[in-house]
Structure 1
Amino acid sequence: MFSKILVVCVGNICRSPTGERKLQALLPNKTIDSAGIASAKSGLVGKPADDMAIQVSSENGLDLQGHQSKQLTAQMCAEFDLILVMEKGHIDAVCSIAPAARGKTMLFGQWLGQKEIPDPYKQSREAFDFAFELIDRAAEAWAGKL
């Protein structure tokens, strides 16, 4: 049913690349990508994943090397079957880019009691560890449902 999954956050350098790579590891037969709601506005398009996100992911067996930030577009939203966002406010942001995506946009933390995954960008190592742990648990839960 859901063969193409898009993971979305704000800048596409911390949470969504981590979620993308975790889901790819768990669901190798599905097409999984990621993008940012404000990658272009933040000047992040083409940038690699955040150094701390790379480090925390690597220490947990996940490789973010080679990732490049992408801006979310209406075309991307149309191409994917399921769009997973990190915060409730991101649902509205996705829908402002692509109104038709409303019915297929859900929280990445949906199966953790609709938990939001806070942005660790420019925060402490602990913030990155916390975000990674939530992303890891949420991805496992999604893999169980998909």
Structure 2
Amino acid sequence: MIRSVVTICTGNICRSPVAAGALASLMPDVAVSSAGLHALVGRGIDPDSKAAADLFGIAPKDHVARQFSSEIGQGADLLIVMETHHRQEIGRRWPQFLGKTFLLGQFESNKEIADPYRRGRMLHIHMAEQVFESSKLWAANIGSF
């Protein structure tokens, strides 16, 4: 049974906090948090990502970026990443977590969620929409993991 999920991206200020907000809203009985593989530690969510997430009602509350670590990975039942290279990096650095690491787009032919950082508000909106749609599929299928 999945009780804890960590969403992971690069800086932990755009995609992973939005994904954590989406999954938390869809799965209230699961502890959801986020982290970055190269986190901008201590920063809040990117303002464009927050505005985009607000459009879908999935903005995380009080987000502060944090660095992914073996302790975070060990404490999670499931790790959800945004791009294939995130999964590959986890496999290189923490091979013990590879078996519980999946793409957010797992149920959409392993769709990747592109990084909108510093690329304009419209890409943040597109990212938030993709994250929300993919998160709905995770919520519907989480029992199979």
Match of 2:22 in 1: 22
Query: TM-score normalised to the size of structure 1?
Result: 0.93
Match of 1:92 among 41, 64, 88: 88
- Match status 1:70 vs 2:77: no
Match of 2:33 in 1: 33
* Structure 1 gap ranges (5+): none
Output the amino acid matched with 1:84: I
CA distance in 2 between partners of 1:22 and 1:60 (Å): 9
What TM-score do you get using the length of structure 2 for normalisation? 0.94
In structure 2, the residue corresponding to 1:133 is in which secondary structure? helix
Which of these residues, 117, 120, 126, is aligned with residue 116 of structure 2? 120
Q: Which residue of 2 aligns with 1:137?
A: 133
Amino acid across the alignment from 1:56: A
Indicate the SS of the match to 1:110: coil
| RMSD (CA atoms) | 1.0
Mapped to 1, the partners of 2:27 and 2:60 lie a distance apart of 16
**2:107 partner SS:** helix
What code does the residue aligned with 2:111 have? K
Hey, what's the Cα distance between the residues in 1 that align with 2:16 and 2:111? Answer: 15
Q: 1:13: which partner in 2?
A: 13
User: Which deviates more from structure 2 when the two are superposed, residues 1-10 or residues 87-96?
Assistant: 87-96
1 CA distance for matches of 2:92 and 2:72? 13
Q: Is the 8 A contact 2:56 2:132 kept in 1?
A: no
Percent of residue pairs bearing the same amino acid type: 32
Question: Amino acid of the residue matched to residue 135 of structure 1?
Answer: V
CA contact (8 A) 2:20 2:60 kept: no
Structure 2 unpaired stretches of 5+: none
The separation in 2 between residues aligned to 1:145 and 1:60, in whole angstroms, is 21
**Where does residue 56 of structure 1 map in the other structure?**
52
Query: What SS does structure 2 have at the residue aligned with 1:111?
Result: coil
